[in-house]
Structure 1
Amino acid sequence: MKRPLVIFYAVIIYAAAEVLWWGYMLVKMQPERLGMILCEGMMFGLVLLAGAFYLHKSLNRERTLAEQKKNFLLSVTHELKSPLASIKLLLQTIQKRDLSKAQILDFIDKSLLDIERLDDMVENMLLAAKIENSSYTFPKANFNLSVLVDSIVNRLQITKCDGNQQIIDAEIEPKIEITGDKFALTSVVTNLIENAIKYSKPCETVVVKLFAKDGRIHFQVADHGIGIADPEKSRIFDRFYRVGSEDTRNTKGTGLGLYIVKQVLDRHEASIKVKDNRPVGSIFEVTFG
């Protein structure tokens, strides 16, 4: 990307030099038309500067997107290899060792969790691709959002912490009905809860709330994780955007989760806000209606 930028700046400098030279020559040949030549030169210069400014922004945007795509490929490679290696090891252990039935069932459960993780990631990538090329229509129907959130919380719940602590503290108001795309909203709930878990310390509590108030439906996910700096809050919903570099980042992810969340909520005329939790962490609040 550096070479196109060098060529771009060289062309701009050359064009500016040509404008000044021809302006000087015209004034020298026709000094009585100095005012007109200056006005025309200023207009041409403004157009040139405006074009250069927007072209520069476009090139920078392309460079940023290329870097984000590179990070995306690195993260997807890691995300695929990790659960696949785990599943392979578990199955090889079952195949080569004489295990008890309880051990086999435990290994199968662990394999299924890794498969669910892979399935979530593939669904995210497919949905993001369909949203990007406008091929997804968001079919809407009435369904029970309380049941949906409760089922996702139960699937993502982790109980193998010290003292058998449950890290997801759910406060779900029953019988909340909503009209929307159940598949897409499942992705919204899953991504927000998984993000909260991912960016929190092990066994740190994540609070999930679903309730109705003043004719609106509110869904909140609060964590006590690393938090989000104010300059990043406006960018976290961009496609592929992740803070830092894939070479140095320890958290898992592809940079598509929050992009999907924002796109799906926009199609449902819902809003999402990000605010700081106290003393540390973040709160994502979704409002329908």
Structure 2
Amino acid sequence: MKKPFVIFYFLIIYACAELFWWAVLLVRARPGKLAMICGELSVFLFILLVGAYHLHKTINKERQLHLRQKNFLLSVTHELKSPLASIKLFLQTMQMRDLNKQQRINFIEKCLQDIERLDDLVENMLLATKIDSETYTFPKEKFNLSLLVDGVVNRLQINKCDCNEQIINAEIEPQVEITGDKFTLTSVVNNLIENAVKYSAPCEVVNVKLFRKNNEVHLTVADNGIGIADSEKLHIFDKFYRVGNEDTRNTKGTGLGLFIVKQVLDKHEASINIRDNRPKGSVFEVVFG
């Protein structure tokens, strides 16, 4: 992608040089029109440079999007292969070895966990596509958000660290009801909590709170993970964007989760804010009006 930029800058420099040369020729031919020629030259240069600036921003944005899409394809490939390889290994082990009942149950549970990972990935991809193409209608109904958050927490609570401590600490106020699209809001809660778990070290606690305050419903997800730099907080809701450098990033992901979160919350006229946790990590706070 560097070659188009070189050609672009060359053309801008060439155009500016030509304008100056034409201006010099006009001044020589009609010295009395110096003020008019300088004025016209200034207007042409201003229009040219403003257009060049916006064109540069557009090209650079397209270049970054192309890079993110490339990284997205690589990430999706890895996200698909990892659970599939795990499921295949468990099934082959069950087929080739004489396991007792408890071992079989344990292997089946692990296979189901990997299947849930695949299901979440596919759901995110389908939902992101529908939102992007504006084909999803967001059907709304009144439902119990407390039960929804509790269900997601319980499902993700199976993630336990080596010291066998629960990593999700939930404080959920009962009977919190809102009106919205239950399907997409489930994806919002799932993505926020899963991200917090993903970017936290083993045995680090993730705190999830749901409560009412001043006629508003607040959902906070706080982790003690790697945190988010201020320069990246402006971009984390962009499609395909992922925190960190692609060469050094070790966490799994596709860059669709927070994009879906922001788009869904916008459709529900809800806000989401990010702030630094203390002493480390990040806090995502969702507010439903």
- Which category describes the TM-score, using the shorter chain as reference length? over 0.9
Distance 1:42 1:164 in 2: 71
Distance 1:234 1:220 in 2: 19
SS in structure 2 at match of 1:8: helix
Counterpart code for 1:166: Q
Establish whether residue 138 from structure 1 lines up as the match of residue 138 from structure 2. yes
**1:18 alignment partner in structure 2:** 18
SS in structure 2 at match of 1:273: strand
Counterpart code for 2:245: S
Distance 1:83 1:145 in 2: 30
5 Å-filtered alignment, 1:249-288, equals: 249-288=249-288
Distance 1:250 1:42 in 2: 51
Deviation at 1:163, TM superposition (A): 5.1
**1:169 alignment partner in structure 2:** 169
Deviation at 1:162, TM superposition (A): 4.8
Distance 1:286 1:104 in 2: 41
**1:196 alignment partner in structure 2:** 196
User: Contact 2:228/2:243 (CA < 8 Å) preserved in 1?
Assistant: no
Deviation at 1:244, TM superposition (A): 2.9
**2:100 alignment partner in structure 1:** 100
Distance 2:148 2:194 in 1: 15
User: Contact 1:158/1:167 (CA < 8 Å) preserved in 2?
Assistant: no
**1:153 alignment partner in structure 2:** 153
Deviation string, structure 1 residues 205-264 (Cα, Å, up to 9, x no partner):
111000111100000101111111111111111111112333321111111111111111
Deviation string, structure 1 residues 28-58 (Cα, Å, up to 9, x no partner):
1111111111111110010000000000111
SS in structure 1 at match of 2:112: helix
User: Contact 2:223/2:281 (CA < 8 Å) preserved in 1?
Assistant: yes
Q: Which moved more, 1:32-41 or 1:159-168?
A: 159-168
Deviation at 1:184, TM superposition (A): 0.5
User: Contact 1:159/1:165 (CA < 8 Å) preserved in 2?
Assistant: no
Establish whether residue 57 from structure 1 lines up as the match of residue 63 from structure 2. no
Distance 1:121 1:133 in 2: 18
Establish whether residue 42 from structure 1 lines up as the match of residue 39 from structure 2. no
Distance 1:248 1:225 in 2: 16
User: Contact 2:128/2:256 (CA < 8 Å) preserved in 1?
Assistant: yes
**2:8 alignment partner in structure 1:** 8
**1:183 alignment partner in structure 2:** 183
Counterpart code for 2:247: D
**2:216 alignment partner in structure 1:** 216
User: Contact 1:168/1:208 (CA < 8 Å) preserved in 2?
Assistant: yes
User: Contact 1:149/1:189 (CA < 8 Å) preserved in 2?
Assistant: yes
Distance 2:86 2:245 in 1: 25
TM-score (norm 2): 0.97
CA RMSD of aligned residues (A): 1.1
Counterpart code for 1:131: I
User: Contact 2:209/2:220 (CA < 8 Å) preserved in 1?
Assistant: yes
**2:241 alignment partner in structure 1:** 241
Deviation at 1:5, TM superposition (A): 0.8
**1:228 alignment partner in structure 2:** 228
Deviation at 1:160, TM superposition (A): 3.9
SS in structure 2 at match of 1:98: coil
**1:66 alignment partner in structure 2:** 66
Deviation string, structure 1 residues 126-161 (Cα, Å, up to 9, x no partner):
111111111111111111100100000000003643
Distance 1:245 1:161 in 2: 26
**1:87 alignment partner in structure 2:** 87
**1:77 alignment partner in structure 2:** 77
Distance 2:267 2:114 in 1: 30
Deviation at 1:63, TM superposition (A): 1.0
User: Contact 1:167/1:203 (CA < 8 Å) preserved in 2?
Assistant: yes
What are structure 2's unaligned runs of at least 5 residues? Answer: none
User: Contact 1:74/1:246 (CA < 8 Å) preserved in 2?
Assistant: no
Distance 1:271 1:153 in 2: 21
TM-score (norm 1): 0.97
User: Contact 2:162/2:202 (CA < 8 Å) preserved in 1?
Assistant: no
Distance 1:47 1:109 in 2: 64
